[in-house]
Amino acid sequence: MIRVSNLRKHFGAVQALDDVSFTAADGRITGLLGHNGAGKSTTLRILSTVMRADSGSATVNGHDCTTQSLSVRQSLGVLPHSSGLYVQLTGRENIEYYGKLHGLRGSELRNACDAMIERLGISAVASRRAKGYSQGERLKVALARALIHRPKTVILDEPTNGLDVNAVRMLREMIRELKQSGCCVLFSSHVMQEVAALCDDIVIIARGRVVAQGTPEQILAALGTNDLEEAFVRAAAAAEDAA
């Protein structure tokens, strides 16, 4: 469960977030949609406690992102837009490193790791160093690494950027699986089709403000169109005019 209310954040003269509020429920997939520079990454960075908001509050599973950042990080799985694997380590070593930093030890760590490798079908890949991985292999290992501690809430930052079709399909499947198991999934994208294909709820963000949110149907109704792409463009344009 993610709850964001009245978040503000500025970098120098740029107001990156200007009163952002939304919620992402458990067992649902929420898409954070916006152009590049709209404030998606800043929002996710505040949620993963890597950054602090100037004002407003953000909670993950009831833990405050500012005052209880360690608890937040414990219950959170984060997949960045670049895989960020350590190329000199094997896939398994990459996964185990994150497991250890999540406090897993001994047989518990081994079992969690085996389960993840099995589930993603990467047993052959995991014994090789990450240096020579294909795009799909990198993504799978990065996913296994992000989910090793079975987080209740999963954040994915532009996860499909630059991936080929097979990798994107695999990722979607994985995200749906997480939803089935009751996770709260929040992911950001600037691609309308991507969000439409996957999300139960959509939050459209432009110039640091939330310009529309709800189920795809609700958003279509609110913006008076039956085309999601058109809705996105209208909502973003309205924000530009207001600014």
Partner 1 sequence: MSILGTVFLKEVLENLRDRRVVLSAFFFGVLLAPALFALTTTIASNRAVRDQEQPLKLPVIGAERAPNLMQFLVEHGAEIESVAFGPDDAVAKVRSGDYNFVLIVPDAYGEKLARGEPAPLNLVLDTANTRAGGTTERARRLLDAYGRQSAALRLLARGIGPEVMTPVEVRGIDVATPAGRSVLILGMMTYFCLMSMLVGGFYLAIDTTAGERERGSLEPLLSLPVTRAQLIVGKILATCAFMAVSLLLTLVATAIALSFVPLEALGMSANFGPKIVLAIFGVMVAFVPLGAGLMTVVASFTRSNREAQTWLSVVLMVPLAPIMFAVMNGTRPTANLMAIPSLSQHLLATDLMRGDGIDPLHVAISVATTLGLGLILIWIATRLYRREAILG
User: Please, what is the minimum distance in Å from the beta carbon of residue 229 to partner 1?
Assistant: 29
Two tokens, residue 207: 């110039």
Q: Measuring CA to CA, how many Å separate 219 from each of 144, 190, 203, 213, 223?
A: 33, 16, 9, 6, 6
User: Please, what is the minimum distance in Å from the beta carbon of residue 58 to partner 1?
Assistant: 13
User: Please, what is the minimum distance in Å from the beta carbon of residue 78 to partner 1?
Assistant: 4
Using CA atoms in the order 25, 28, 34, 36, what is the torsion angle rounded to 10 degrees? 100
Residue 74 has a CB neighbour count (10 Å cut-off) of: 16
For residue 35, give the H/E element and its range: none
By CB under 8 A, name the binding residues for partner 1: 45, 48-52, 70-71, 73-74, 76, 78-89, 93, 97-98, 100-103, 105, 129, 145-146
User: Please, what is the minimum distance in Å from the beta carbon of residue 194 to partner 1?
Assistant: 20
Three-state DSSP state, 11: strand
Q: Which is nearer to partner 1, 80 or 216 (CB)?
A: 80
Residue 204 has a CB neighbour count (10 Å cut-off) of: 28
Which of 207, 203, 209 lies closest to 232 in space, CA to CA? 203
- Token look-up 């600014």 returns 243
Q: Which is nearer to partner 1, 86 or 176 (CB)?
A: 86
Q: Which is nearer to partner 1, 29 or 85 (CB)?
A: 85
User: Please, what is the minimum distance in Å from the beta carbon of residue 149 to partner 1?
Assistant: 9
Using only C-alpha atoms, the chain has a radius of gyration, in whole angstroms, of 18
User: Please, what is the minimum distance in Å from the beta carbon of residue 88 to partner 1?
Assistant: 4
Q: Which is nearer to partner 1, 88 or 215 (CB)?
A: 88
Q: Using CA atoms, how far apart are residues 71 and 65, in angstroms rounded to an integer?
A: 9
Question: Pairing between strand 55-60 and 2-11?
Answer: antiparallel
- Token look-up 């500012």 returns 66
Q: Which is nearer to partner 1, 82 or 226 (CB)?
A: 82
User: Please, what is the minimum distance in Å from the beta carbon of residue 76 to partner 1?
Assistant: 7
Type of residue found at 115: A
Q: Which is nearer to partner 1, 73 or 140 (CB)?
A: 73
Beta bridge partners of 87: none
Q: Which is nearer to partner 1, 155 or 204 (CB)?
A: 155
